[in-house]
Amino acid sequence: MDIAKLKAFIVVAEQLNFRRSAEILAMSQPPLTRLIASLEAELGTRLFERTTRSVKLTGAGVLLLREARDIVAALARIETEVRAAGRMKAGNLRIGFSRTAFMVRFPALIEAFQERFAKIRLDLHEAPGRDILKRVRDGGFDLGFVEGVTSWEGLESDEIAAETLGVLVARKHPLARRRQIRFQELEDETLILHHRREAEEFHNRIAHLIKHMAKKPKIYIKQENESCPILVALGRGVSLTIAGAQHIAPEQTRFVPIRDLLLPVRVFWKNDRLAPHAKTFLSFAIENRSVLPQRTECAVLSYE
């Protein structure tokens, strides 16, 4: 079922007249009749009820008309966007990202994109998740990469990663021997967190999880000059992080997954004002979901 057959079918379905349809398509009527018959044979069903006086769509024809219009419109849009991307020589793209979104996939994605589109200038800004989403909605950013949020009013989104959450513990810690744990098993631990002003959403999510624990863990708020992995290695507590970051954590630590806890990372955009270079980056990001992470930090969860 090729696009030429679908386009011809749409014309006939809208005109319900083979002679008029042939004139619109700049072809004679017999080839058009054979083309529609070929499409019906390919699908194994009749699309039109034809008499000497009228042409009507069958139920299958009505269904195909709706889908065919969507397919033809999508192909036209894709063709336009691909042509625009091919003509694109330079541009400026404003991207917001949260700290954890950067940690998960972002650096390798940026590097790969710049190798292919060296003349597109990327203005990169780190900010809290909520601030990013508001700025995407208000036009301050073209795209925003945020973790933990599944939707935001007025914005489109697509998931580009889903990382397993876990805890970074010292190698001599009893939990270091475990293959995985439940979050409730952290009740006797000290959780190392960023300050609330750095990660308000994270604190809210952790507070929600702690609320259902029989015994509350201790909380240690790291200082600006402190590093979560180093604090863990020194035995000051345990730190929430993602599976993909464990390979660059200190040798004195070990990552232990937390059962049933995932960290989804999504890219957000406002569909009615996405420029060609932003669409190119968006497509690139969605198609490169397997890019490896580059660094480790405390996991900073955002949610609406």
d(CA 284, CA 30): 45
The yes-or-no verdict on residue 298 having pLDDT over 70 is no
Neighbouring C-beta atoms of residue 193, cutoff 10 Å: 22
Per-residue pLDDT tens over the stretch 121-172: 899 999 888 899 999 999 999 999 988 777 888 999 998 887 788 899 999 9
Of residues 97 and 52, more confidence is placed in: 97
What type of residue is 279? K
| Residue 230, burial from CB neighbour count under 10 angstroms (0-12, 13-18, 19+) | middle
Per-residue pLDDT tens over the stretch 76-131: 877 776 776 666 566 789 999 987 777 776 788 888 888 888 888 899 999 888 89
What's the mean per-residue pLDDT of the chain? 84
- pLDDT, average across residues 268-294: 75
Helices 276-287, 59-87: axis angle to 10 degrees equals 110
The yes-or-no verdict on residue 296 having pLDDT over 60 is no
d(CA 37, CA 185): 67
Tokens of 106: 């972002």
Bridge-partner residues for 94, per DSSP?
Answer: 123
What type of residue is 162? A
Q: Model's pTM, two decimal places?
A: 0.60
* Residues contacting 133, CB < 8 A, separation 6+: 144, 146, 149, 152, 155, 268
Task: Spell out the SS3 assignment of the chain.
Answer: CCHHHHHHHHHHHHHCCHHHHHHHCCCCHHHHHHHHHHHHHHHCCCCEEECCCCEEECHHHHHHHHHHHHHHHHHHHHHHHHHHHHHCCCEEEEEEECHHHHHHCHHHHHHHHHHHCCCEEEEEEECCHHHHHHHHHHCCCCEEEEECCCCCCCCEEEEEEEEEEEEEEECCCHHHHCCCECHHHHCCCEEEECCCCCCHHHHHHHHHHHHCCCCCCEEEECCCCCCHHHHHHCCCCEEEEEHHHHHHCCCCEEEEEEEEEEEEEEEEECHHHCCHHHHHHHHHHHHCCCCCCCCCCCCCCCCC
Domains, the chain, ranges and CATH? 3-87 (1.10.10.10), 91-161+264-287 (3.40.190.10), 164-261 (3.40.190.10)
Quick one: what percent of the chain has pLDDT higher than 90? Answer: 44
Tokens of 242: 């993602």
What type of residue is 44? G
Place of tokens 């890019």: 291
